C-alpha cells in the first residue's frame, strides 16, 4: 500500500487561500461580472519565487489582452459557437508561443470563455475583463511579495559546510605528521550538502528582482570549486610514504587553514606563507632517493593546490548579503 504524505499547510497554501478570498471579495465589491474568475487568476500566479511570479503575471496579462482582442473581433464577425471557439484557440496558441507568453494559455482560456458566453460583446465587456485581470493578477503579485526568508536555512548550510571543511583540514594536518594516518574524509557527503545549499541559494536569488552578485549562491559555488581541490589533495596525501620537515610544515599550515575556514582576512597571509614555502622547496638540493623525490614532487603539488584553494577564496571576497535588494 502506498504511504500517504504527511498532512501540512505550507506558506504557499496560505497565500493561495487568502489571495483567492481577497480576489473574489474585491471583484464582487467593484461589481464585476464573473467575479469568481479572479480567484482562478490568483491560483495560477502564486509561485515559489518573486521573479518567477512577475514573469508569470506579465505573460498572463499579455496573453489575456491578446485573447480578449482576438476573441472579441472573431466572435463579432463569425458568431459565438463552438467551431469558432476552436478556431480561435487554434490560432491563439501558436501566437503565444511565438511571443513567448505561452505560460498564460490556461488563464487566457478563462477570459475567452467569458467572451464566448457574453450576451453582448462591447466596451463594457472589455473593461470588465481588464479589471478582472488587474484584480486577480494584482493580488497574486502582492501575495508573492510576501516570501519567507531563506537566510536562516542558508546560514545553517554555510556553517555546516564550513564545519565539514574544518574537520577535513584537521584530518589532513594529522596525516602530515603521521603518514599512516587515514585521510578518508566524507567528500561525497560534503558535495551533497553543497548541492542542496546551492538549490536553496538559487531560490533566494530568484526572490530578488535585482540580483546580488555576492550572494550565497556564489559562496556555495566557491566552496564547490574548493572541494575539487580538497579531493586532489586527499589523493596526493594517500600516496605519501615518508615524513620530512616540509610535510610537517604543510601539516601546520593545514591546521591553520582549518582554524580559519570562515575567515575573510586570513587568505593573504597564508598565500605569502605558501610563496615562502615554494621558494624553500625549489632552493633545496635534489633528493638522493626515488622515494624522497616522489615525496618532494607530491609536496610541491600540495603547495600548488593549496595556493589555488586560497586564491579562489581571495577572488570571492567576503559574504555580504543585501536584504534590501
What is the end-to-end Cα distance of the chain in Å, rounded?
48
Q: Which of 73-77, 140-144, 192-196, 318-322 has the lowest mean pLDDT?
A: 318-322
Q: State the DSSP H helix or E strand holding residue 261, giving kind and residue range, or none if neither.
A: none
Q: What's the pLDDT at 322? A: 40
Q: Is the pLDDT of residue 213 over 70?
A: no
Q: Are residues 78 and 174 in the same domain?
A: no
6 found inside a domain: no
124 found inside a domain: yes
pTM: 0.66
Q: Are residues 221 and 141 in the same domain?
A: no
Residue of 319 and 129 predicted with greater confidence: 129
Instruction: Give pLDDT tens digits for 156-175.
Output: 999 999 999 999 999 999 98
Q: What's the pLDDT at 182? A: 85
Whole-number Å distance between alpha carbons of 312 and 258: 16
Q: What's the pLDDT at 252? A: 87
Q: Are residues 111 and 20 in the same domain?
A: yes
31 found inside a domain: yes
Query: How many domains in the chain?
Result: 2
Residue of 264 and 248 predicted with greater confidence: 248
Q: What is the mean pLDDT of the chain?
A: 83
Q: What's the pLDDT at 214? A: 47
65 found inside a domain: yes
Q: Are residues 134 and 249 in the same domain?
A: no
325 found inside a domain: no
Q: Are residues 112 and 176 in the same domain?
A: no
323 found inside a domain: no
Q: Is the pLDDT of residue 147 over 80?
A: no
DSSP states of 254-309 as a string? HHHHHHTTT-SSSHHHHHHHHHHHHHHHHHSPPPSSHHHHHHHHHHHHHHHHHHHH
246 found inside a domain: yes
Q: Are residues 174 and 130 in the same domain?
A: no
Q: Are residues 45 and 156 in the same domain?
A: no
Q: Which of 67-71, 85-89, 273-277, 319-323 has the lowest mean pLDDT?
A: 319-323
Domain at 244, CATH number: 1.20.120.940
- The whole domain housing 233 covers 151-316
Amino acid at each position: 500500500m502506498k504511504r500517504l504524505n504527511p498532512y501540512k499547510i505550507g506558506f504557499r497554501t496560505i497565500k493561495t487561500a487568502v489571495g483567492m478570498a481577497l480576489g473574489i471579495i474585491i471583484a464582487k465589491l467593484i461589481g464585476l461580472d464573473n467575479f469568481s474568475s479572479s480567484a482562478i487568476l490568483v491560483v495560477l500566479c502564486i509561485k515559489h519565487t518573486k521573479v518567477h511570479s512577475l514573469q508569470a503575471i506579465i505573460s498572463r496579462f499579455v496573453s489575456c489582452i491578446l485573447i480578449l482582442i482576438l476573441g472579441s473581433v472573431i466572435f463579432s464577425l463569425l458568431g459565438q459557437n463552438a467551431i469558432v471557439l476552436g478556431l480561435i484557440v487554434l490560432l491563439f496558441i501558436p501566437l503565444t508561443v511565438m511571443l513567448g507568453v505561452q505560460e498564460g494559455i490556461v488563464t487566457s482560456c478563462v477570459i475567452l470563455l467569458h467572451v464566448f458566453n457574453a450576451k453582448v460583446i462591447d466596451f463594457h465587456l472589455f473593461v470588465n475583463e481588464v479589471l478582472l485581470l488587474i484584480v486577480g493578477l494584482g493580488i497574486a503579485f502582492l501575495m508573492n511579495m510576501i516570501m519567507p526568508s531563506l537566510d536562516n536555512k542558508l546560514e545553517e548550510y554555510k556553517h555546516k559546510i564550513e564545519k565539514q571543511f574544518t574537520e577535513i583540514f584537521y584530518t589532513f594536518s594529522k596525516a602530515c605528521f603521521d603518514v599512516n594516518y587515514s585521510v578518508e574524509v566524507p567528500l561525497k557527503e560534503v558535495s551533497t550538502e553543497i548541492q542542496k545549499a546551492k538549490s536553496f541559494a538559487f531560490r533566494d536569488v530568484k526572490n530578488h528582482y535585482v540580483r546580488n552578485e555576492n550572494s550565497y549562491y556564489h559562496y556555495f559555488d566557491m566552496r564547490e570549486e574548493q572541494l575539487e581541490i580538497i579531493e586532489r589533495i586527499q589523493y596526493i596525501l594517500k600516496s605519501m610514504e615518508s615524513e620530512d620537515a616540509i610535510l610537517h610544515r604543510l601539516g601546520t599550515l593545514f591546521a591553520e587553514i582549518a582554524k580559519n575556514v570562515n575567515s575573510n582576512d586570513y587568505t593573504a597571509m597564508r598565500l605569502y606563507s605558501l610563496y615562502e614555502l615554494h621558494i624553500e622547496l625549489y632552493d633545496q638540493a635534489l633528493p638522493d632517493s626515488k622515494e624522497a623525490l616522489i615525496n618532494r614532487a607530491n609536496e610541491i603539488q600540495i603547495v600548488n593546490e593549496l595556493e589555488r584553494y586560497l586564491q579562489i577564496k581571495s577572488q570571492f571576497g567576503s559574504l555580504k548579503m543585501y536584504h534590501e535588494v
